[in-house]
């Protein structure tokens, strides 16, 4: 009897396995994936950035009305229902900027707002600054604590002394931004971050701590950076309209500067066993191997201090309080600027639980230019550190500033689609709901929600890693007086950057998903027996190196092991450059489209042993072609704009592909 029972159970298990296999063969995705496909949850929809919750937004009777509404789209248009009716699922907010963090009246409004969001099931992110860049708490951090202000080592060849320290304000992002001219903290000073947390994060926790990890799920830090480089002034007439909270001294000369902090010399001496003051000249000039060595030591120290003392300190506090740290860096698209702004931009952003990007344009084609770089940074930081979620702050700021905006719904959707293909899961919006009809806003919210319904639980699966050459740029970087972008970089730096940018654009334009990996993550990666490279949540089959890079010994050893295990290693060179004409032949991706087209974006994911592909047409012409290399069984094709679903079947391992202008399609096997 017992044997018969075991036999029956075995037969049932076999039949269930066969049924699951049959369903897969017929292109049916698991039904649980699609439970919220037509009506995405609030957690999967975008969040509206709202700088302050005023009493007029907090209408109690409107909230009560919503709570009685079973429909997915509430009928009321008051209070927070305004955002729900326009497809938003939650908000990114802060206590009002007026009397920032000091008005009990505004605190009361904020607390009521969080309570209402909790009743409605709306997730809340806390924006951690009065405007931007984050770190000053609207100036409160530096009140009575001038020693916490950003500090630089300046060089004046005609001065006496030639080298001296000064506060970093004039000729920096602190005095050249769109929000306010305000003195800034030192990201390398652990005391400055501790005070920022005390004034900001602790104040929120004191008032709404019971909602942390429930309604309140993340803190958003906005463009913190080292104030050690001139980014140039913002254009008029915007510049003349920016409030001046701290007067700018016109007598402060533009000079080459380097970031510094109160204990930098001691930290440097402990780490390297050398006196940094005797090496100051090499930090500003020189092209010898000794100059390169010193600059690498200096910027490596800067990178570690920024990553640990600002990003790491905030991350540790957030994790201890049940919320995620998130936000984005400044100038993500310019790798040369990553040196003076962070030491190592990839290392800094990797210290966020939900690393993010700032997408100031909603021209979908931006991805084929430098948008890929902006998105590659947070995706890489997330995967390399074993995370998944990625945030975007997205808007049509560039179009509106130029008079070409606001953009239309299709452009918004395509911009969201390509970012989702790059792993973005959290869409925080500076789009103004008033710029579009309620129905257009609702459609956009549904679109983002459907993307996340399928992709947020899925893992991005890029198989290529492009080397992030910050180690080489440390050696080549020389500070200059005046805007950095107006001074040509040294020839070797130009060669490396040009190669890096060309390779990234080539991979993007040939539908080859990839991440960035720096020398530190490369040195920590593990070579697997099957010839791949495991780094966090990424498993890489191909490494690509820009022209002229020099690997440190630890990273070079891993690359050699990878190559010995038959991993593919590609070096760009003057004799054999990687470009759109040879990328597919060199890298041999298992998926490709025919005919080639620069404006098709491809993202690759896995979920429960299924493959999910995201295809986006960021161009203005319909694409007709085929997707080559797909498995021969049926696939499910889903349209996040309409909610439509159908089964498609490849012929000879190729799927016919038709993508209308700005269309996004999802394929799941």
**Distance in angstroms (rounded) separating the CA atoms of residues 150 and 136:** 11
pLDDT of 18 higher than 70: no
- The reply to whether 577 and 633 lie within a common domain is no
User: Does residue 529 belong to any structural domain of this protein?
Assistant: yes
Polymer length of the chain: 669
pLDDT at 77: 67
- Please state, in angstroms and as integers, the Cα–Cα distance from residue 160 to each residue in 157, 208, 593, following that order: 8, 53, 63
Q: Are 255 and 335 in contact (CB under 8 A)?
A: no
Q: Which of 567, 587, 607 is the last residue of a domain?
A: 587
Listed residue (335, 307, 33, 321) closest to 193, CA to CA: 307
Task: Please tell me whether residues 641 and 578 are part of one structural domain.
Answer: no
| Tens digits of residue pLDDT in 94-125 | 999 999 999 999 999 999 999 999 999 999 99
d(CA 301, CA 283) in angstroms, rounded, equals: 13
pLDDT tops 80 at residue 68: no
- Relative orientation angle of helices 491-509 and 371-384, to the nearest 10 degrees: 90
Is there a single domain that holds both residue 566 and residue 660?
Answer: no
Are 580 and 602 within one domain?
A: no
% of the chain residues with pLDDT over 70:
93
Determine the average pLDDT of the residues in 453-467.
98
Q: Considering the domain boundaries, does residue 248 fall inside one?
A: no
**Domain count across the chain:** 2
Assigned domain for 645 exists:
yes
Mean pLDDT of 467-475: 98
Q: Determine, yes or no, domain membership for 384.
A: no
Say whether both 559 and 599 belong to one domain. Answer: no
Question: Is the pLDDT at 549 greater than 60, yes or no?
Answer: yes
- The DSSP call for residue 148 is G
126 inside domain = no
Once rounded to an integer, what is the mean pLDDT over residues 420-439? 97
**Which pTM does this prediction carry?**
0.94
609 and 581, same structural domain? no
Which of 22-36, 39-53, 54-68, 531-545 is least confident? 54-68
Asked if residue 651 and residue 568 are part of one domain, the reply reads: no
Q: Region 433-439: what's the mean pLDDT?
A: 96
Is position 26 within any domain? no
Q: Is residue 519 part of a domain?
A: yes
Please classify residue 478 by burial: count the beta carbons closer than 10 Å to its beta carbon, then call 0-12 exposed, 13-18 middle and 19+ buried.
middle
Regarding whether 615 and 546 lie in a shared domain, the answer is no
Looking at the structure, do residues 598 and 583 belong to the same domain, yes or no? no
Q: Which residue has the tokens 């505004």?
A: 106
Instruction: For residue 303, give both structure tokens.
Output: 């990178």
Beta bridge partners of 569: 543
Q: What is the pLDDT of residue 55?
A: 75
Q: Choose the final residue of a domain: 557, 587, 617.
A: 587
pLDDT tens digits along 231-290: 999 999 989 999 999 999 999 999 999 999 999 999 999 999 999 999 999 999 999 999
* pLDDT band at 54; cut points 50, 70, 90: confident
Task: State the Cα–Cα distance between residues 272 and 293, nearest whole angstrom.
Answer: 11
582 and 472 assigned to the same domain: yes
Q: 525, 554, 587: which is the final residue of a domain? A: 587
Q: Are residues 661 and 564 in the same domain?
A: no
Give 163-192 pLDDT, tens digit per residue.
Answer: 999 999 999 999 999 999 999 999 999 999
Residue 270 maps to a domain = no
Residues 542 and 603 in one domain: no
Q: What is the pLDDT of residue 57?
A: 72
Domain range spanning residue 540? 464-587
Question: CA-to-CA distance for 549 and 546, rounded, in angstroms?
Answer: 6
């Amino acid at each position: 009897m017992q044997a018969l029972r075991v036999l029956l159970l075995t037969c049932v298990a076999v039949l269930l396995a066969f049924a699951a296999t049959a369903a897969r063969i017929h292109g049916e995705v698991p039904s649980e994936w699609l439970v919220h496909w037509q009506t995405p949850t609030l957690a999967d929809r975008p969040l509206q950035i709202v700088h302050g919750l005023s009493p007029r937004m907090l209408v109690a009777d409107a909230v009560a009305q919503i709570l009685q509404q079973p429909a997915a789209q509430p009928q009321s248009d008051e209070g927070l229902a305004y955002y729900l009716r326009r497809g938003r699922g939650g908000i990114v907010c802060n206590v009002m900027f007026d009397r920032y963090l000091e008005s009990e009246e505004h605190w009361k409004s904020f607390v009521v707002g969080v309570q209402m969001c909790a009743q409605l099931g709306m997730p809340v992110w806390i924006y951690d600054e009065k405007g931007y860049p984050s770190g000053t708490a609207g100036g409160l951090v530096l009140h009575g604590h001038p020693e916490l202000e950003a500090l630089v080592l300046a060089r004046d060849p005609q001065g006496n002394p030639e080298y001296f320290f000064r506060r970093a304000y004039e000729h920096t992002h602190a005095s050249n931004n769109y929000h306010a001219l305000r003195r800034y903290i030192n990201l390398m000073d652990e005391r400055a971050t501790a005070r920022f947390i005390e004034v900001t994060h602790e104040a929120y926790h004191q008032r709404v701590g019971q909602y942390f990890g429930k309604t309140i799920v993340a803190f958003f830090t906005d463009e913190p950076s080292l104030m050690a480089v001139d980014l140039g002034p913002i254009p008029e007439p915007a510049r003349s309209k920016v409030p001046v909270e701290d007067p700018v001294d016109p007598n402060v000369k533009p000079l080459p500067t380097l970031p510094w902090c109160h204990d930098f010399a001691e930290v440097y001496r402990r780490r390297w066993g050398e006196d940094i003051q005797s090496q100051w000249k090499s930090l500003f000039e020189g092209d010898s191997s000794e100059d390169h060595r010193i600059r690498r030591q200096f910027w490596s120290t800067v990178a570690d201090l920024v990553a640990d003392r600002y990003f790491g300190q905030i991350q540790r506090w957030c994790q201890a309080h049940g919320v995620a740290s998130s936000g984005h860096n400044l100038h993500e698209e310019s790798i040369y600027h990553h040196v003076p702004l962070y030491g190592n931009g990839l290392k800094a952003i990797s210290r966020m639980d939900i690393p993010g990007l700032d997408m100031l344009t909603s021209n979908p084609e931006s991805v084929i230019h430098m948008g890929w770089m902006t998105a590659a940074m947070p995706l890489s930081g997330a995967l390399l550190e074993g995370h998944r979620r990625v945030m975007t702050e997205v808007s049509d700021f560039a179009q509106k500033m130029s008079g070409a905006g606001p953009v239309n719904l299709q452009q918004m959707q395509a911009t969201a689609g390509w970012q989702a293909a790059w792993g973005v899961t959290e869409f925080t919006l500076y789009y103004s709901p008033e710029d579009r009809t309620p129905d257009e806003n609702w459609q956009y919210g549904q679109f983002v929600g459907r993307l996340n319904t399928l992709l947020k639980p899925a893992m991005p699966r890029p198989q290529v890693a492009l080397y992030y050459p910050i180690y080489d740029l440390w050696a080549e970087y020389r500070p200059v007086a005046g805007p950095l972008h107006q001074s040509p970089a040294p020839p070797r730096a130009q060669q490396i950057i040009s190669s890096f940018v060309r390779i990234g654009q080539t991979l993007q334009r040939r539908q080859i998903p990839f991440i960035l990996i720096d020398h530190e993550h490369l040195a920590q990666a593990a070579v697997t027996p099957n010839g791949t490279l495991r780094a966090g949540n990424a498993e890489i089959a191909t490494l690509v190196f820009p022209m002229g890079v020099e690997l440190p010994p630890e990273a070079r050893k891993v690359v050699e092991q990878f190559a010995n295990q038959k991993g593919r290693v590609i070096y760009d060179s003057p004799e054999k450059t990687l470009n759109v004409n040879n990328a597919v032949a060199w890298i041999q991706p298992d998926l490709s489209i025919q005919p080639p087209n620069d404006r098709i974006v491809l993202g690759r994911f896995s979920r429960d042993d299924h493959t999910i592909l995201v295809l986006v047409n960021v161009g203005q012409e319909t694409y007709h072609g085929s997707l080559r290399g797909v498995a021969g069984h049926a696939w499910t094709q889903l349209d996040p704009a309409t909610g439509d679903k159908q089964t498609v079947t490849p012929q000879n391992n190729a799927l016919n592909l038709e993508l209308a202008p700005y269309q996004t399609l999802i394929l799941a096997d």
